[in-house]
Amino acid sequence: MAVWAEQLQRELAGRGLAVASVPGKGRGLVAARGLAVASVPGKGRGLVAARSFFPGEVIICQEPYASTPNRISVGSSCDHCFASGNLRKCSVCRVAWYCGSVCQKEEWKLHQLECQAISALTEERKKMLTPTIRLMVKLILRRKLQSEKAIPSSATDNYDLVDALESHISKVDDNQLVLYAQMANLVQLILPSIELDLKEIAHTFSKFACNAHTICDPELRPLGTGLFPAISIINHSCVPNAVLLFEGRTAYVRALQPLSSNTEVSISYIETAATTLKRHNDLKQYFFTCTCPRCIKDSEEDALLEGYRCKDQKCDGFLLPDSGKKAYTCQKCSISRDEEEVKKVSSEILLLSDKASSFLSSGNNSEAGSVYKTIEQLEQKHYHSFSTTLLHTRETLLKIYMELQDWQTALMYCRLTIPVYERVYPPFHPMVGLQFYTCGKLEWLLEYTEDALKSLTRAADVLRITHGTQSQFMKELFGKLEEARAEVSFRLSSGDEQIS
């Protein structure tokens, strides 16, 4: 085994004990890390638990080897910590933004080199600086600084770990290879003083495609991209036992369920509230076909997620297409829907969707809202109540009515999404917790205090597992929960009632 790989194994295995917060027990001594890199049949390397982990426990956390905000030059998030608000632009390159001098100093050794390179570019070339190109530039500069020992490296923070990442280069199609070669040339133009191996850079772009992670805020809004080489060892499952979330630039993987020793840690690379076909399509960039328990199950779940509803509005059965009969038949009551009729409603919805999204993109939320409402009503008659199509329309309506500050309508759509979220996601999924949180905040705003207390409690129960308990985001949630509790006790003691 290579020296760096041995060092990584030692670091992940950990030695001795660490102080950690143990649910229900306050702080306690737990075995540190307790992880191993193993070869997993059919998957390459994988991260395996070498001890048990409890739900919500941090399995591994890591700072990015390289990272970049998604929106370059516009100052949407700090180049170091990904915070937004009160950002200041680097006055020299005018590309990097920082939330303050602490972050600017943290990045300085790296940014000094990047800044010189970017400042030397023509305005035309600067426009070619996409997040992926910038990620590569930062990665190369970091490798240079570490090899010159200008910045430290460690067992979990060194270029060997990047080198060991899967690239799948032999499976990449020719068009993509040409694109990677052009991108490598551009990187060489940006960094003329460093002699680059262009083939290696092209391979590294391919590594980005199947290893880089989207850095999100606690509400899962994408902020940037980062390469976290130790976390990249974790394989995918559509029924994962762990979740990856971020606090600032730091990636945290937490257990979603009790993990026993020797269990492979898995996260989901994709949105899991989707049919098997859609999930497999979304996984194509990673060059494998998922064979997790969910992927090898029958099509019943897919028919629920994407299926049409029964003609009998009182029946909750799902339809499956009949072989060759040009109809869809309810699997519960056997009533059939004619394929032509289904097609007609589908194309009506499609036409309206085009209209609604053009209103949305021109910022006309109120017109978009009323067209989406019509779509939602058609979809209710057309799709099964657990359909993701109907779910996405309701999510869009929720966003629109939040924008329009029509809290009552927003709450109505939020509430309609919750049973579907609970059906399509596992119980401890950030999306479930976040939707309860939105619901709770709307109910609080509308003074449905008891409902707000219930929703915020549900939110906290889920999010303390997925997000931990220490972040500012969670502290705000706990604060709101306390406020709701106090208000409900006050109302109960004063005999007040609410109507929602």
Contact residues for ligand SAM, defined by CB under 6 A: 42-46, 165-166, 168, 210-211, 232-233, 235-237, 286-288, 290
253 or 462: CB nearest ligand SAM? 253
Q: Measured from the CB of residue 60, what is the shortest distance to ligand SAM in angstroms?
A: 13
What is the spatial distance between Cα 355 and Cα 346, in angstroms, rounded to a whole number?
14
297 or 343: CB nearest ligand SAM? 297
95 or 283: CB nearest ligand SAM? 283
| Burial track 209-229 (b if 16+ CB lie within 10 A, e otherwise) | bbbbbebbbbeeeebbbbbbb
Q: Measured from the CB of residue 40, what is the shortest distance to ligand SAM in angstroms?
A: 7
DSSP state of 244: E
DSSP characters over 348-397: HHHHHHHHHHHHHHTT-HHHHHHHHHHHHHHHHHHB-TT-HHHHHHHHHH
The CA-based angle 400-403-405, given to 5 degrees, is 110
What is the spatial distance between Cα 174 and Cα 168, in angstroms, rounded to a whole number?
13
Contacts of 22 (CB under 8 A, 6+ apart): 28, 30, 54
Edge-to-edge strands, sheet with 327-330: 319-321, 327-330, 336-338
Closest CA to 299 of 309, 307, 311: 307
User: Which residue of the chain is nearest ligand SAM when measured via CB?
Assistant: 44
276 or 455: CB nearest ligand SAM? 276
Q: Measured from the CB of residue 105, what is the shortest distance to ligand SAM in angstroms?
A: 32
264 or 483: CB nearest ligand SAM? 264
Show the tokens assigned to 340: 């032509």
Show the tokens assigned to 39: 């070869």
What is the spatial distance between Cα 386 and Cα 418, in angstroms, rounded to a whole number?
10
Do the beta carbons of residue 499 and residue 466 sit within 8 Å? no
67 or 211: CB nearest ligand SAM? 211
Q: Measured from the CB of residue 290, what is the shortest distance to ligand SAM in angstroms?
A: 5
What is the spatial distance between Cα 401 and Cα 409, in angstroms, rounded to a whole number?
6
**3-state class (DSSP) for residue 57:** coil
Q: Measured from the CB of residue 240, what is the shortest distance to ligand SAM in angstroms?
A: 10
Task: Return the number of other C-beta atoms located less than 10 Å from residue 336's C-beta.
Answer: 15
What is the spatial distance between Cα 414 and Cα 394, in angstroms, rounded to a whole number?
8
Q: Measured from the CB of residue 15, what is the shortest distance to ligand SAM in angstroms?
A: 25
Q: Measured from the CB of residue 438, what is the shortest distance to ligand SAM in angstroms?
A: 31
Helix and strand element counts for the chain (H, E): 16, 17
Q: Measured from the CB of residue 332, what is the shortest distance to ligand SAM in angstroms?
A: 33
Q: Measured from the CB of residue 185, what is the shortest distance to ligand SAM in angstroms?
A: 25
16 or 42: CB nearest ligand SAM? 42
156 or 232: CB nearest ligand SAM? 232
Q: Measured from the CB of residue 115, what is the shortest distance to ligand SAM in angstroms?
A: 31
237 or 396: CB nearest ligand SAM? 237
44 or 222: CB nearest ligand SAM? 44
